Amino acid sequence: MNFIIIGCGRVGAELSYHLYKSGHRVVVVDVNKQAFNRLHPDFRGRTLEGEGLAETVLERAGIQEADGLAAVTNSDALNAVVCHAAREFYNIPVVVARNYDPSLRSVIEAFGLQTVGSTTWGAQRVEELLINPSEKVVYSAGNGEVEIYEVRIPELWNGRTLGELLGNIRECRPVALTRAGRSFLPEMDTVLQEGDLLDVSSTFKGIGELTACISGKAEA
């Protein structure tokens, strides 16, 4: 597949190299030629010096044949406008805009674009690891507003039902239960066993409440 990456900062350089290593054709665009020094020495994609908003630059990057474009500069406004133009004027099927400053996230959302906020997501992940180190994040949706967590059922909840565990937690939904290496879709009347691995879809608030219940620090 053909991808265009606008911005060769740390995120852009890392993304470009990963795409290249996966066998894709990658063109990296940056207004500063020195930025390409961040690329991995093994990177063999194209680099293009120029302003990502310029029509001539985008066309030289091959936007007419691109399958996807990511704008990952440290300017939220630039990321939003470039992605909007790629989607609306060049009909690029997949565009992703980086959100650099959390306070400007609404700028990108106003365009209805898929966005990744590395600052917001990173801060939330650190908070989760500090507060809920026993929970393993399996999947993160959006910017981490909803995530799938894997939790281990302790002896305290052996023989009790899933409904007892989750019944009073509004922002937490069961996804799967793994027992002795086999997974299944649990019901609320499923009886839990010590050592079960429970996957739940939850907000940060919900997983905090679930952690309290599992540890016995809150009433189930």
**76 and 149, same structural domain?**
no
Q: Which residues make Cβ contacts (< 8 Å) with residue 106, sequence separation at least 6?
A: none
**101 and 176, same structural domain?**
no
**Average pLDDT across the chain, whole number:** 90
Instruction: Name the phi and psi angles at 37, rounded to 5.
Output: -65, -15
Residue 127 has pLDDT above 60, yes or no: yes
**34 and 6, same structural domain?**
yes
**18 and 86, same structural domain?**
yes
pLDDT of res. 215: 84
**195 and 139, same structural domain?**
yes
Which has more confidence, 120 or 208?
208
Weakest mean pLDDT among 121-125, 164-168, 182-186? 121-125
Q: Under DSSP, is residue 86 helix (H, G, I), strand (E, B) or coil?
A: helix
Residue 89 has pLDDT above 60, yes or no: yes
Return the amino acid letter for 186: P
Average pLDDT over residues 185-210: 94
Contact by Cβ (8 Å): 126, 19: no
Domain count, the chain: 2
Q: pTM of this prediction?
A: 0.68
Residue 132 has pLDDT above 80, yes or no: no
pLDDT of res. 220: 41
Residue with tokens 């989750």: 166
Show the tokens assigned to 22: 């996966």
Short-list 78, 66, 117, 116, CA closest to 96: 116
Residue 29 has pLDDT above 80, yes or no: yes
Residue 219 has pLDDT above 60, yes or no: no
**203 and 151, same structural domain?**
yes
| CATH number for the domain harbouring residue 167 | 3.30.70.1450
- What is the residue range of 208's domain? 128-215
Counting residues of the chain whose pLDDT is more than 70, the rounded percentage is 95
